[in-house]
Structure 1
Amino acid sequence: MGKALLTVALCLLPFLLMAQNDNSSAKYRPIDTVEKKDLIDLVRSFVNIQPRKISPQEKKKLYFSILPVSESGINDHRMLITSTTAGYYLGDPSDTYLSTVTFAPYLNFKGRYGLPIHSNIWLNANSYNIQGDTRLLKYPQYTWGLGGGQPSSDKFLVDYVYLRFYQSVLKRITPYFFAGIGYNLDYYMDIESDNGNPKSLAQFTNYKFGTSSEENSFSSGPSLNLLYDTRNNLLNPIPGWYGNLIYRYSPSFLGSDNNWQSLYVDVRKYLSLSNSGPKNMLAFWSFYWTSLSSGTPYLSLPSIGMDPYQRSGRGIAQNRYRGESLIYFETEYRRDITDDGLLGFVAFTNINSASQINSRQFKYWNPAGGAGLRVKFNKKSGTNIGIDYGRSRDYSAIILNLGEAF
């Protein structure tokens, strides 16, 4: 319990910093005059390729980063992943944030595959923000039921095909505040229970919504989205604030199996520790995710690692903790190793708690931590290759990403 309380204290530190006036993210950007380098520069130096000279009038606005990797998947099988990220500007970079599209197909050769596409588009002068999340997955994964306190061996394998289609459009209200609406669709098909377990998923979880074997679970409905964002680069945020609220309503008259509602509130703070020189900063992330009514399908309940970008819980098995409510805190220290920004490192700690079944009590707190290496892949878009090692009480993993975890 002492370690859990210490982790909570570290992760709550950003709320002690809210007195800072953060009207402009550029105000806190470290000044660094050292010429930057990335992997593209290294390749050019080895093969003696001179970059094409770009005139002052010519501005490149599209940057690609591609990372073919292999890491452990479910049941410790190897997984082949190819992550491609495109960063581009749809307006003047001085007043328009970097838009990103990420396509990361994966295959583990043992029945698990996925075709996820995430997009975050900023129109000229940030007049509108268009967000998209489309996935087609064959997704066997373990579940440990609701709440916490279960041993890691008390798990249940669930297999299904999953189609997600989320789209939202937000209009700028003030320079950093946006509001809009969206549409969310979740379709879980052919939900199958573990053939080696005598119990059904409904019996294992003691939850009746969306747990029937060999059946489908469908949810469809609108969302209300509020966004506050002073960062100008999702791939590598500079000091500033991020806040996001998503209220979701899935009514039966739009095809949902049940009427249900949920709320997701996400707050992040990025704090520079120096006014000049290489990157030296702290990043904080916290979110609260809860179902607001009964009827939420089991696979749509708040779960660790299933947040919108599936980046929470480094060092904890995805889906390890699930409940009708989930609370999460994370703190990360980010530092350049080389002055040119080519190499860097991070150290992080996080903690979460899922509410106990049939209650909203947060009884068990689940900490994790780790460290990672950063290699600058593309200095123009700020894209890093992230190689992180995370560990918790009963699990450890190596996590590979293009861009920062949050």
Structure 2
Amino acid sequence: MKLLFFYSFRNILTRRLTTFLTTGGMALVVFVFAAIVMLADGLQKTLVDTGAADNIVIIRRSAVSEVQSAIERNKAAIVETDPGIALGPNGQRLLAKELLVLITLQKRASRNPANVVIRGGTPQSLQLRDQITLTAGRLPHPGALEIMVGRNVAERFDQAGLGESLFFAQRRWRVVGIFDAGNTGFSSEIWGDVNQLMQAFRRDVYSSIIFRLRQAGGFDAVSERILSDPRLTLDVKRERDFYREQSEMMSKFLRLLGFYLTLIFSIGAVVGAMITMYAAVANRTQEIGTLRALGFQRGTILTAFLLESLLLGLLGGLGGLFFSSFLQFFTVSTTNFQTFSELAFRFNLTAATALKALAFALFMGFAGGILPAIQAARKNIVEALH
């Protein structure tokens, strides 16, 4: 087997131009495949990491997102009395009644409008989100027309920088702080005081209620009390599960798109590999005859040519992964299908994605090399030497 490997590797080095062209085509396909999967994984990771494992989200029953949800004040007051809610250092319940609204802002680069999420919260909202860090300015004062914006919003939208002001809901709001929530959905939001935002948007209902469990294993008991209360028509979910559901539709769409794009490109790559291997068989007919005359079996010849094609696929896969790994340094944005707001996130390359890309590259090498390898193995010794 070692001899076959070196024989195949030597032939690849001998035909540098055709090797470069063939592996380049495969690398392009692997790059597209990896980029789409990284895009879907990045979106899913951004939304899933937005939620905390011990936080609970309550929205209106049958609502699929906070934008569609509406919780009346009396129902929120009932939920607030649940004994399963944790207490903060000051003795207050770690619970936040929040409002989620969409506004339209203009992007700095393209000048195109896009929807942005505004979240009205309370001081407890920050205590419940450990991933949020204030990077510039200060927190908005309760009762004031002040807001703080996520890092992605400050970078991408007009008038969203520190010290600037945004006009919406017939009022002008001053940006007093910029926060960073890492690679989570919160970095694409604007935060302000819930009472001021409810007055400005003329809303008398909350969008969601967020609270932390008193005990890590208390979810089932809390969920049972809220779901069985006839006064409430609310749904209870773990925050991480809630945001995972938010990402499913978009992730499936991206993966299906990637599958069909990769399928189209891979046909061309397989044909290119097949042409390369057929040419190799045609140019090495006498060499094949010599190997057969020296006692090498048909199976050995088939394995040698198939191994050569697999090496081409492996080189193409490694090249595609190398270039796709640089996508992790870029931030892209898309529309969240659940909230119809802009969400910025990064490509995410995982070990599973790398293994899938390499396996796909080897499959292309196998598909492109199996028929030429069979043709080489079937050659007659006398005719090949002649």
TM-score normalised to structure 2 length = 0.20
Determine which structure has the larger helix proportion and give its number.
Answer: 2
TM-score normalised to structure 1 length = 0.19
Rg larger for:
2
Determine which structure has the larger strand proportion and give its number.
Answer: 1
